Amino acid sequence: MISDLPGSKDALQRRGLMFILSSPSGAGKTTISRMLLERDEHLCMSVSATTRPPRPGEIDGRDYFFVDQPQFDAMVEAGEFLEWAPVFGHCYGTPKAHVKAGLKQGQDFIFDIDWQGTQQLYQKLETDVVRVFLLPPSLVELRRRLDARATDSVEVIDGRMARAQAEISHWDGYDYVVVNDDIDRCYAKVTQILAAERMRRARQTGLIGFVRELTRPVISS
């Protein structure tokens, strides 16, 4: 059997994809991203550069590339980002060199970014991008999830709720929309999307040669 995943012995050559998960804060994109990374060895996280300070336990180069504002501005000026945007007072951006090289080799990347970053990526690398938006089952449930974190003040949560409604308004800029009313059901739907997108004919660059072999005239002995 021919595998669709890179790295297997009999895999057809395939171009990688950029799998974007977006959602309002608290709707599940970070949890789903972690589940995918833990269970899918052919998927890796795109590491962003950010001007925000590291949180406890975060490691430079693994979680983020931590840079100061002048460094970030210089990277923007030099065109080193596929996308970048200010978020909650800090800047975040996706360095392009590593991603473009990985796509060519068949590596799949997952992106945990907002609609602004999604739009920028799609404008630059449309055919490589798969856009998935996660919705909460209700605003009441979204507020409950944010409160349950117990990591933010009431003022910060109020701000996140206001931003959430603004982000939700961009749902129609995505290829797929999934309501996260149950984390396991949501994960199952997202993995189905990823599996189908990996099988797209346009991404299977090894198909031309493979089919050519199958259609050669058979010479009987």
Instruction: Kindly state whether residue 89 falls inside one of the protein's structural domains.
Output: yes
Question: What's the rounded Cα separation, in Å, for the pair 116 and 87?
Answer: 10
DSSP letter for 12, please.
Answer: P
- Give long-range contacts, CB 8 A cutoff, 24+ apart: 77-84: 81/49, 82/120, 82/121, 82/124, 82/125, 83/113, 83/116, 83/117, 83/118, 83/120, 83/121, 83/124, 84/117, 84/120
CB of 26 within 8 A of CB of 161?
no
Instruction: Kindly state whether residue 78 falls inside one of the protein's structural domains.
Output: yes
CB of 29 within 8 A of CB of 142?
no
Amino acid 2: pLDDT: 46
The candidate with the shortest Cα–Cα distance to 47, out of 76, 14, 81, 70, is: 81
Full pLDDT tens readout for the chain, 221 residues: 345 555 555 568 899 999 999 998 878 888 999 999 999 999 998 888 999 999 888 999 888 899 999 999 999 999 999 989 888 789 999 898 889 989 999 999 999 888 888 998 999 899 999 999 999 988 888 888 887 877 778 888 887 888 888 899 999 999 999 999 999 999 999 999 999 999 999 999 999 899 999 999 888 76
Instruction: Kindly state whether residue 220 falls inside one of the protein's structural domains.
Output: no
Instruction: Kindly state whether residue 90 falls inside one of the protein's structural domains.
Output: yes
Instruction: Kindly state whether residue 212 falls inside one of the protein's structural domains.
Output: no
Name the residue type at position 134.
L
Domain count, the chain: 1
Q: Which helix (DSSP H) or strand (DSSP E) does residue 129 occupy?
A: strand 129-135
Amino acid 40: pLDDT: 95
Amino acid 3: pLDDT: 52
Q: Residue 101 is part of a domain; what is its CATH number?
A: 3.40.50.300
Q: Which helix (DSSP H) or strand (DSSP E) does residue 179 occupy?
A: strand 176-179
Instruction: Kindly state whether residue 203 falls inside one of the protein's structural domains.
Output: no
User: Residue 148's domain spans which residues?
Assistant: 18-197
Instruction: Kindly state whether residue 11 falls inside one of the protein's structural domains.
Output: no
To the question of pTM greater than 0.85 for the whole model, the response is no
Amino acid 1: pLDDT: 39
Amino acid 189: pLDDT: 97
Instruction: Kindly state whether residue 6 falls inside one of the protein's structural domains.
Output: no
Amino acid 79: pLDDT: 93
Question: Vertex 99, ends 89 and 51: CA angle to 5°?
Answer: 20
